[in-house]
Amino acid sequence: MASEVTQLHFLLIPLMSQSHIIPLTDFAKLLAQRGVVVSIITTPLNYIRYKASIQHALESGLTIQMLPLEFPGGQVGLPPGCENMDSAASVDLAWDLMLASEILKSPLEEMIEKLDPSPSCIISTSALPWTQQVADNFKIPRYIFETVSCFTLLCAHKLSQARIQETEISDSESFLVPDIPHRVEFTKAQLPAREYSDRVKSFVEQIGKTMLSARGAVVNSFEELEPWYVEGCRKERQRLWCIGPVSLCNKNLAEKSDRGDKASIDEQYCMSWLDSREPRSVIYACFGSLSRISAAQIKEIGLGLEASNCPFIWIIRSLDSSAEVEKWLAEEKFEQRIEGRGLIIRGWAPQVLILSHPSVGGFLTHCGWNSTLEGISAGVPMITWPMCAEQFYNEKFIVDVLKIGLRIGFEVCAVAEQSNALVKWDQVKKSIEKFMDDRDDEGRDRRRRAQKFGEMAKAALEQGGSSYLNITLLIQDVMQACK
């Protein structure tokens, strides 16, 4: 089998978004560790952003490469330099970026014809349904890389079957997800489909159709985390393998700090700052790469973190670091006020590195699936603050199923700057204080459960673990398809 494996060439194609590129790059490393050749399709600017991560893999002897294709953003009216979802400053630009991605089909096919060895399969994220046509044209199997959990996939499927969106109930009235083992309630206001335009609905239908044509799916999760939901998804898709958490492929400090974009802080300084804190005392507050947060909400977050009297690391992304925010920070002398207890990082943070530090005791998170899994893998309980997309599904999973999280109380699925909803500073403060109270039985149980899931996550990717075995089964399935 070893010689057959070395003949295999996996072609990985992510949507040009941090939340897709980063986990797919991690998965590429896990595949390359098995002896297969792996190529990742990217664009020139994304190549520059992520090449450090691939360099570590090359230095350890893995056969892995990034192949940049010129991004046709100009053809759909995108501004120069807009090659990633996090640089799309509006919903319209994000859709234009999706259109530009589809134009990559012809140059990608030209590139594939020249690749040696020829690709054995394509693994692409579900948001790129056109890659099914590419796979069909080259008569190779396509597998979908799911960037959400089996819990989300199955709940969304059950709610779609129940036609919840077509019912007459109000946006604020709660309802149960049918036919699942846990009591999980939503309101219409929390469902991403509430935001869907006709354009989005058409795209979602296209994804559904190509899903039926794909040979199988891989999910960035692990079977012990959500066993019932994995089995539920397998009833819908027979070939489905949980292969995560993929972030655990990064073992040393350099790999963890170079995962994703270039960090906006010196990693050694960040680690030294954490080293000076008590174990499990620090709140890490980060809201992902895509959620837009208003200046008013950022001020409330800062004041709540300050009032909690907990040590904290707070990430303010470049997109949110507006002139208004910077003026407020300067006029309030906020950083001087929190000096010695709080650390602000503007831009990109080495999240996996921070979460894995023993001083971090809680993660204030937007509940993106990558962040959720990284928190779980580090054994860190979470304060949940979902904002858009499938993040409310993840909150339900963290709080109601795993019981390792505490809700902050944000209830509307909408980009924060488009919503009148505002979480005030005292609500942030109270949530942190309740969450960090070690005298509370619920809090102690939450922490114990989080640590247990962290141990299970690591075991899943070790030799003989469930995700390790599933990667083996995937490779065998590709070999079978090639025959």
Whole-number pLDDT of residue 200: 67
Q: How far is CA 366 from CA 68, 202, 252, 389, in A?
A: 31, 27, 26, 11
Instruction: State how far the Cα of 119 lies from the Cα of 112, in Å rounded to an integer.
Output: 7
Euclidean distance between CA atoms 60 and 254, whole angstroms: 13
> In the beta sheet, which residues pair with residue 360?
282
User: What is the residue whose two structure tokens read 């499990």?
Assistant: 280
The arrangement of strands across the sheet holding 121-125 comes to: 64-68, 37-42, 9-13, 121-125, 142-146, 216-219, 240-242
How many C-beta atoms surround the C-beta of residue 376 within 10 A? Answer: 28
> Cβ neighbours of residue 305 under 8 Å, at least 6 residues apart?
283, 285, 312, 314, 338, 342, 428, 432
**pTM value?**
0.93
On whether the CB atoms of residues 328 and 360 are closer than 8 A, the answer is no
Check: CB of residue 213 under 8 Å from CB of residue 237: no
pLDDT of residue 416: 38
CATH of 2-249+460-482 among 3.10.180.10, 3.40.50.2000, 3.20.20.60, 3.40.470.10: 3.40.50.2000
Residue 384 CB neighbours (<10 A): 26
Q: What are phi and psi of 304, to 5 degrees?
A: -70, -40
Q: What is the pLDDT of residue 417?
A: 39
Tokens of 458: 């690591």
Helix (H, G, I), strand (E, B) or coil at 174: strand
**Cα(50)–Cα(37) distance, rounded to whole angstroms?**
18
Pick the CATH number of 261-457 from 3.40.50.720, 3.40.50.2000, 3.90.1150.10, 3.30.1300.30: 3.40.50.2000
pLDDT number for residue 164:
75
Q: 289 near 18, Cβ under 8 Å? A: yes
How do the domains of the chain map onto residue ranges? 2-249+460-482, 261-457
Q: So what's the pLDDT on residue 440?
A: 81
Say if 2-249+460-482 and 261-457 have the same CATH topology: yes
pLDDT value at residue 251 = 87
R_g (Cα) of the chain, nearest Å: 22
| Cα–Cα distance list, 103 to 37, 76, 198 (Å) | 26, 9, 21
Instruction: Output the tens digit of pLDDT for each of the chain's 483 residues.
Output: 555 666 899 999 999 998 999 999 999 999 999 999 999 999 999 999 888 888 888 888 899 999 999 999 889 888 888 988 887 767 778 888 888 899 999 999 999 999 999 999 999 998 999 999 999 999 999 999 999 999 999 999 999 888 877 777 777 888 899 999 999 999 888 887 555 566 666 777 777 777 788 999 999 999 999 999 999 999 988 899 999 999 999 888 888 877 776 677 888 889 999 999 999 999 999 998 777 788 999 999 999 999 998 999 999 976 666 788 999 999 999 999 999 899 999 888 899 999 999 999 999 999 999 999 999 999 999 999 998 889 999 999 999 999 999 999 887 776 433 456 789 999 999 999 999 987 888 989 999 999 999 999 999 999 999 999 999 999 999 999 988
Q: What is the DSSP code (8-state) at residue 400? A: I
What is the reported pLDDT for 196?
54
Adjacent-strand bridge partners of 68 = 42
Q: Are 381 and 407 within 8 A, CB to CB?
A: no
Closest CA to 289 of 329, 334, 320: 320
Give residues with Cβ within 8 angstroms of 28, minimum separation 6.
Answer: 10, 12, 38, 40, 57, 64
Place of tokens 């899931």: 453
